[in-house]
Amino acid sequence: MDARLFTLIHGFAVAAAQDGIFVFLASGLIWAMGAALIIFLLVRRAQRLIPTLSALGAALVAWSVNQVIGEIHFRVRPFVELAGVRPLIEVSPLMKSFPSDHAVIAWALAVSVFLWNRRWGGALIVAAALIALGRVLVGVHYPSDVAAGAAIGAAVAVVVHYAIHRSLPLRYRR
């Protein structure tokens, strides 16, 4: 089922003329998310320092959890396992596919910001979804890889948010 869904999604990317857009979604948009987080902090620095640190902490913890899971359950990339799949970006075939590091980081940042600020967080959630889709479109992840990454990133963001939120003095809580 996962391979069939991957083939359908990746087949669309290979047939489309927008390979550059898909490559940006898979590789470049995560850097744009980082830039958005910096802008988020700079808009009202004093009020947004804790949410920004919360987002960065959530991303770091989620990525760490992801590394452990990847060591326990190593899954090869789709372009290694499936015949005829050509990745649109360069990724080592020796690197794990499950769960997606890009999805985990993007979703941890997005959900963490969303828990502090709905408008900025909503925009970052859209970006995180596009990053996850982009990773499948360019042929380096199965849909379940990015879905697991999204779930891990979101779950860690919620846990980190509430741990930080509960430790703050009342005057700093929303």
pLDDT 10s digits, 109-148? 999 999 988 998 999 999 999 999 999 988 899 999 999 9
Q: Which CATH class is domain 2-172?
A: mainly alpha
pLDDT at 139: 86
Rounded to the nearest 10 degrees, the angle between the axes of helix 118-137 and helix 143-167 is 160
Token pair in block for residue 162: 């509430």
Q: Where are the domains of the chain?
A: 2-172
Give the sign of the dihedral formed by CA 144, CA 58, CA 124, CA 79.
negative
Range among 41-45, 126-130, 135-139, 164-168 with highest mean pLDDT value: 126-130
pTM: 0.84
